[in-house]
A and B are shown apart, each in its own frame.
Chain A
Amino acid sequence: MSRWGMAIDLAKCVGCQACSVACSMENTRVPGENWHKVIFMNEGETGTKKFTWYPRPCQHCTEAPCTKVCPVRATWKRKEDGVVLINWYKCLGCRYCVMACPYGVRCYPEVKPLLEPDIKEVYHGRRAKLWDPPYQLSREEQDGKRGTGIPPKGVVTKCTFCAHRTDRKEMTPDRDPVKDRDFTPACVIACPASARYFGDIDNPESEVSKRVERKGAYRLREELGTKPQVFYVK
Chain B
Amino acid sequence: MSNLFKVWIGLLALGVLLGLYTTFQIFTIGHGELANTTQLLPWGLQVSTYIYLALTSTGCSFVYCLATLGGVDKLKPIVPRAVLLALLTIIAGFTSLSLEIGRLERLAIEFIVNPNLTSPMWWMGVFYTMYIVVLMIELAAMIFHIEWLMKVGSVAVLITAIAGHSTLGSVFGVLEGRGYGFGALTPIYFLMMAFLGGASLILLVSCLISIFKGSNKEFDEAVTTLRKVFLASVAIAFLATVWRYVVGVWVSDPYYDLFDLGFNKFLKFSLLLGMIVPVLIVVFQKKAGIGLALAPIIVLVVQFIDRNTLIVGIQKIALLQGVWEPRILPYTPAPVEISVVIFVMSIIGIIYSIAEQRGFLEKIKH
Interface residues of chain A, those whose CB is within 8 Å of chain B, are 32-34, 39-42, 51, 54, 56, 65, 68-74, 90-96, 98-104, 107-112, 152-156, 220-221, 224
Contact = CB atoms under 8 A, between A and B. Distances in A.
A39 B32 contact: no
Contact of B106 (A39, A92, A220, A224): A92
A99 B178 contact: yes
Judged by DSSP, the binding face of B is loop
Nearest to A157: B39
A104 B320 contact: yes
A128 to B, nearest CB: 10
Contact of A40 (B36, B37, B38, B324): B324
A66 to B, nearest CB: 10
B323 A90 contact: no
A92 B115 contact: no
Contacts of B321: 39
A91 B102 contact: yes
Given A69-B121, A92-B101, A95-B43, A104 B32 contact: no
Contact of A90 (B35, B38, B102, B114): B114
Contacts of A33: 39
Contact of A69 (B30, B32, B40, B120): B120
A103 B118 CA distance: 20
Interface of B: 30-40, 42-43, 101-104, 106-107, 110-111, 113-116, 118-122, 125, 171, 174-178, 314-315, 318-324
A118 B202 CA distance: 47
A17 to B, nearest CB: 12
A101 B114 CA distance: 21
B132 to A, nearest CB: 17
B107 A112 contact: no
B42 A108 contact: yes
Contacts of B110: 71-72, 74, 90, 92
Nearest to A41: B322
A94 B102 contact: yes
A147 B30 CA distance: 20
B186 to A, nearest CB: 13
A144 to B, nearest CB: 12
Given A72-B111, A92-B107, 13 more contacts: A39-B320, A40-B322, A41-B323, A65-B174, A91-B106, A93-B102, A98-B39, A99-B43, A99-B178, A102-B319, A111-B37, A111-B39, A152-B103
Given A90-B110, A102-B177, A72 B122 contact: yes
Contacts of A153: 30, 102-103
A47 B323 CA distance: 15
B177 A108 contact: no
A90 B115 CA distance: 11
A99 B314 contact: yes
Contact of A70 (B103, B116, B178, B314): B116
A145 to B, nearest CB: 13
Contacts of A42: 323
Q: Which 3 A-B pairs have the closest CB atoms?
A: A93-B102, A102-B177, A154-B102
B42 A98 contact: yes
Contacts of B121: 69, 71, 94, 96
A93 B101 contact: yes
Contact of A111 (B38, B113, B314): B38
Contacts of A104: 40, 318-320
Contacts of A220: 320
Contacts of B171: 96
Nearest to B311: A99
Contacts of A102: 176-178, 319
Contacts of B178: 99, 102
Contacts of B42: 95, 98-99, 108
A35 B45 CA distance: 26
Contact of B33 (A69, A73, A95, A110): A110
Contacts of B31: 110, 154
Contacts of A224: 176-177
Contacts of A108: 32, 39, 42, 102
B111 A103 contact: no
A72 B114 contact: yes
A101 B321 CA distance: 14
Given A92-B107, A93-B102, A110-B33, A103 B320 contact: yes
Most chain A beta-carbon contacts within 10 A, residue among B38, B106, B321: B106
Contacts of A70: 116, 119
